[in-house]
Structure 1
Amino acid sequence: MMSLWVGVALLSMLALGFVFWPLVRYGKQQNGQSSEVVAERLAENVRLFHEHIAELEVQLSAGRIDQEQFAQLKLEQERALLDDEADIRAAQQNRTMGAGIKTLSAIAVLIVAISWGLYQQLGSSADVEIRLAQELKQELDNADYQAGRNPDPVRAREMVRLIQARLADEPEQLQYWFFLARMHMDLNDFAQAVNAYQQVLQRDSSSAMIMAELAQAMFLRDGNKMSPPISDLVEKVLKVEPDNTTALGLAGIDAFGKKDYVGAIKYWEHTVKLTGQDSPGSQALISGIERAATLYFAEGGTEASLAAARAGRQLSVNVSLAEGVDANPDQIVFIYARTWQGAKMPLAITRVAVSELPKQVVLTEAMAMTPAMSLGSVDSIEVIARISQDGTATAKAGDWQGSFGPVDMKSIPSDLNVTIDQKVAQ
C-alpha cells in the first residue's frame, strides 16, 4: 500500500514541476523593481525630457531650427517619454509574478488536497490494499505449507477486517462477500461463513458452486449433521452440476445417514472417479465406501445384490444391422438410452464394433455420464443404436441408426430389439 502512495506523491511532484518550472525560470529572468526605483526612473526621464526641450528652445531662439521643426522634435520627445513610462510600468507589473506564483501554489495545493479527498471517497485504494494483503497472505501461507506448518490465522483475521471495512462502504460487492465467506471457512467460523454465502446467493441465486459451498458450511456449522435445507441445496446443485464434488460428498453423507448404503456408495464412488484416488479427500471417501459396504452386508446384503444394486435399473437391448446398410466392420456403434422426448444427453451409453453385430448389450445406471442423470432418474426412455462415421458420439448426416421407444422404466421388457436401418439426414 505504501508503494501506491509513494507513486502518487512522485507523480504529483512531477506534474507540479511541469507547471512551476517555466514560471520560476521566467521570474528569474525578470529584474523586478521596487516602487522607489520606478519613481526614480520616472523622475529622471522627466528631468531629461525638460533638458531636451530646453535645448530645443535654445536652438529655436538661435534660429538653428524653425517653429515647425521645434514642434516636431518636441512631439518626438513627448512620445519617447510616454513610451519609457509604459515600459517602466510593465516592468513594475512583472513584480507581481511572485504573488502569482504564490497564488498558483495555493491553488495547486488545494487541488491536490481535493483530489486526495475524492480518491479516498471514490477511488480504489481499499481494493488495492485488499489485493496486496491477499497476495502476501497467499505467499506466507504457501511458505507455511511447505514447511509443514498450519498457516497463521492472524492473516485470515486481517483479511476479514479489510473485507468487512470495504463491504461497509460497498455492500453490493459480490466477490467480497464470497471472499469473506472463504476467510471465515479458513477460520472455522462456519456460522459467519453461512451468513456470507447467503449474501452471495441473494445476489447470484443461480450459482451452483455457491449453493454447494453454502451447504457445506451449514453442514459444518451444525456439527456435521445433515438437515432438510442442506439436502434441498444439494439436490439443486446436482440438478445443475451433476459432477459437483462438494454436493456429491454431501449427498453420500445424506444417503448414509438414511441407511441407503448403496446410494452412498454410488455418490462417493463417482466423487472418487472425478477427484482421483490419490487425492487426500478420496482416501476418506474410499474408507466411507468400505464402511457403507460393510453395513450393507451386515443387514443381509450379498456381493451379488450389491453389484446389482450398484447397477440399478438395467435393460437388455438386441442390436442388429438391416440389409443394405453401408458400414465398415471396424466402425463404432454407439448404443445408448436417453429421456423420451427430452434432453439428448445419454442416460447410459456403451459401444461395440459393427463386426460384433448382431449383439445383445445391457445398459445400466453405472453407465450414466453423471449420477443425477441415469436410468433411475426418469420414467420413460428411448433406446438408440447409431453407427458413427468418425468415431464420435455426436450424430452427423450420413450416419446409420435405429431406435425404439418409448420404454416405460417402471415395467422394463426383458428384451428390446433395435435394428439399424435409417440414415441420418442432418
Structure 2
Amino acid sequence: MTAFIIGAALLLAVALAILLPPLWRSAPPAAGADRRETHLAIFRDQLAELERERDEGTLGAAEEAQARSELQRRLLDEVETQPAAALTQGGGRRTALFLVVVMPLAAAAGYALLGNPGALNPLQRQARIAPEQIDAMIGGLVEKLKKNPEDGKGWVMLARSYKVLERYPEAADAYARAGSVVDQDAGLLADYAEVLSQVHGGSLQGKAGELIKRALEIDPNEAQALLLAGAAARERQDFAAAADYWSRLLSQLEPGSDEAKTVAAAIGEARELAAARAAGGTTSAKATSGAAQVAGEVTLSGRLAGRARPDDVVFVFARAEEGPRMPLAAMRATVADLPLNFHLDDSMALAGGRKLSDFASVTVEARITRAGNASTSSGDLFGRIAGVKPGNRKLRLVIDQVQP
C-alpha cells in the first residue's frame, strides 16, 4: 500500500511540474502598459491623418466618416482586450494554486469514494477459495481423467488433493491408478503408504509396509519413507529397527531444530525399549501395557443399530483432553466386529508424536463412518468417554450419538 501511495504522489508531482510554470508566469505589467500606449499613439496619428486628408479635400465626408468609425471600433476593441489580459495574468496564478491544493485532495477523495482502498492491502488481495470452488476444481480434474485415464501425473495430483481434504479412501484409489508414475518415485510411494495407513486406522502393516520397503529400495535416504519405516517397525515392536530407521532420518535434519529434537526423543525411547526387551524378554511388553494402556469393550446402541451396515468402518482412538487433536493411539475394525474388545497403548503412537503415557487423562472415542476414514463427517455414529486415566482396562464405551 505504501509503494502505491508513493508512486501516485510522484506521478501527481510530475504532472504539476509540467502544468504550473506556464500558469504561474505572467507578462510584466510595464510591458502591457507600454503596448497599450503605443496602440493609442497609433490611433491618434491615424485620426489626425484622416482630419488632414479631409481638410485637404482628398478624402470625402462619407469616406472620412467610415474611416473614423472603423478607427473608433478598433480603439474600443483594444480597450476591452487589455482588462481581459490582466485578468488572465492574475487568473493563471489562481489556477496554479488551485492545482497545487485542490487536485491532490480531490484525487484522494475520489479514490476513497469510487476506488477500492482495501485492494491495496496484500492480505485482502489473497485468494479465498470457497469449498464449492475446490469441489468444482476436483470435479473438473476427475472429468479430465475419465477422458484420459492413462494420465499418471493427473492421478497423483488428484490423490494429493484428496489427501489434503482428508478423503483418504479416494486418495488411495487415485494413487493406485497412477501406475508407474508412483511405482518409480520413492516420495510418492511413501505418501501412498501414509494414505493407506490413514485408511486403516494408522496401521502401516500389509500393503503400506510393502510400499515403504519399495520406496527405500529406490532411495534409501527418502525422509518420509524412513519416518514411516520406523513407525511400522515400532508397531511390530521391533524397537531396534525403529531406532535404526529414525537415526538415518535424524542425520538429514537440521541439528537443534524441532523436528530433530522430536525424532531424537523417539530414537531414545525406541533404544530403551529395545534394551529392555533384550534384558528381560517381556519387559518391553510391560512397558507398552499397564499404566500406558486403556482397554475395554465397544458396543452399538440398539436404537442406532438400523443406521449402520456390517461393513461400515469403526475407529477406536484416544485423544488428549487438552492439546493436540491427533489421536494418541488408534485401532480399526468394522461394525460386524461389534461388540469389540479393544486396547490402546503407547506402541500405537505415531512416530515422534505424543503417547498415552504423556497425559494424566484422555478421551476415548469410537466412531462409525461410512467414508472409511477417521475424520469427522456429518451422520457419523459415535460415543466417547472423557477423563479416562491411562491404566483403565474396564471401559464400557457405547456408540449412542449421531454427528450433526
TM range (shorter): 0.3 to 0.5
Structure scoring higher RCO (CA < 8 A, sep ≥ 6) equals 2
